[in-house]
Structure 1
Amino acid sequence: MFEVLVFVYENYWRGEACPELQQLGRKLSAHGFDAEEISAALVWLDGLTIAAQSAAQSVGAGLEESPISFLPQQQSAWSMRVYSASEQAHLGAQGLGFVMFLESAGVLPAAMREIVIDRAMAVNAEPMTVDELKIIVLMVYWSFGQEPDALVLDELCDSAEGRLAH
């Protein structure tokens, strides 16, 4: 499924440029993707679309100022996200660490974090790899028609393998 998501991200730079799911399914099939992978990716993308639309409706209702936030209240600087046992098992220690890294760097607002976690929980892999989680983060940005800044994009697209610590 993740190969399909990467293909969609690379070929449709903005979420609104992506064709309807049925047409997208035909295009993916024409590119040689497996029918089962296509089906799983389309279901996952539909859930992402619903989450993005929910966020947009909250903004339209005047509940938030941020276009990427769907929660009715801003998160306090003193609040803390507590992960359920199933989220911990599903995301794994490295995945949780990566989400916390992005959040502490200020590039993953709380509302986007919740969509990332929701979409990660919708994937049948336990624990998820960090590379799979990176694709999910990219797709969440993509669904809002935003591109992460260059340093974040580098972190999401570059493999940590072969890096030397200074």
Structure 2
Amino acid sequence: MFEVLVFVYENYWRGDACPELEQLERKLAAHGFDPDEITEALTWLDGLNFAAQSACASIQSTALAELPASNVSMRVYSVAEQEHLGARCLGFISFLATAGVLPAAMREIVLDRAMAAPGDPVSLDDLKIIVLMVYWSFGHEPDALVLDELCESPEGRLAH
């Protein structure tokens, strides 16, 4: 599934530039992806689209109501989230959130889509793809340092 998601991310610069799921399915099949992987990825993308649209509607209605935002809230992870994501993924999500590059609404979508992903626990590399896809669904590109953290393997880095 994640190979399909990477292909979609690399070939469609934003979520709204991506074709409808039926047309995308034909294009993915033409590129030789396994039908089961295509189905799994399209189901996952459909959930991402729904979550992103719901978040946008929620943000707009909250902005209209002018509710104050709390900067001191804390996210508590359920046992299922802890087991499915593991310490490395939860630590990475916390890192992105405390760095100010993963707002709460996007964090919740990352968690939702990670919980819908295969793997027990989800690998950190797969989580990074999920984070990229959430940015993609909102039409945002992460800044260069975040993109570097999401795309580059830490094993090849030299400490300064």
TM-score, normalised to structure 1, is: 0.91
In the alignment, which of 92, 103, 108 is matched to residue 98 of structure 1? Answer: 92
Structure 2 counterparts to residues 70-85 of structure 1, below 5 A = 76-85=70-79
Structure 1: unaligned runs, 5 residues or longer = 66-71
Tell me the equivalent position of 2:42.
Answer: 42
Distance 2:38 2:69 in 1: 36
Shift of 1:73: 5.7
Question: Is residue 2:114 matched to residue 1:120?
Answer: yes
CA RMSD of aligned residues (A): 1.6
Structure 2 vs 1, CA of residues 15 and 92 (structure 1 numbering), >3 Å: closer, same or farther?
A: same
* Same amino acid, percent of matched pairs: 71
* Unpaired runs of at least 5, structure 2: none
Counting matched residue pairs gives: 159
Whole-angstrom distance in 1 between the partners of 2:40 and 2:10:
18
> Alignment partner of 1:161: what SS?
helix
- 1:64 counterpart residue number: 63
Q: 1:89 to 1:126 in 2, by over 3 A?
A: same
Residue type of the partner of 1:22?
A: E
Letter in 1 for 2:4: V
- Secondary structure class of the residue paired with 2:147: helix
Q: What TM-score does the superposition give when structure 2 sets the normalisation length?
A: 0.94
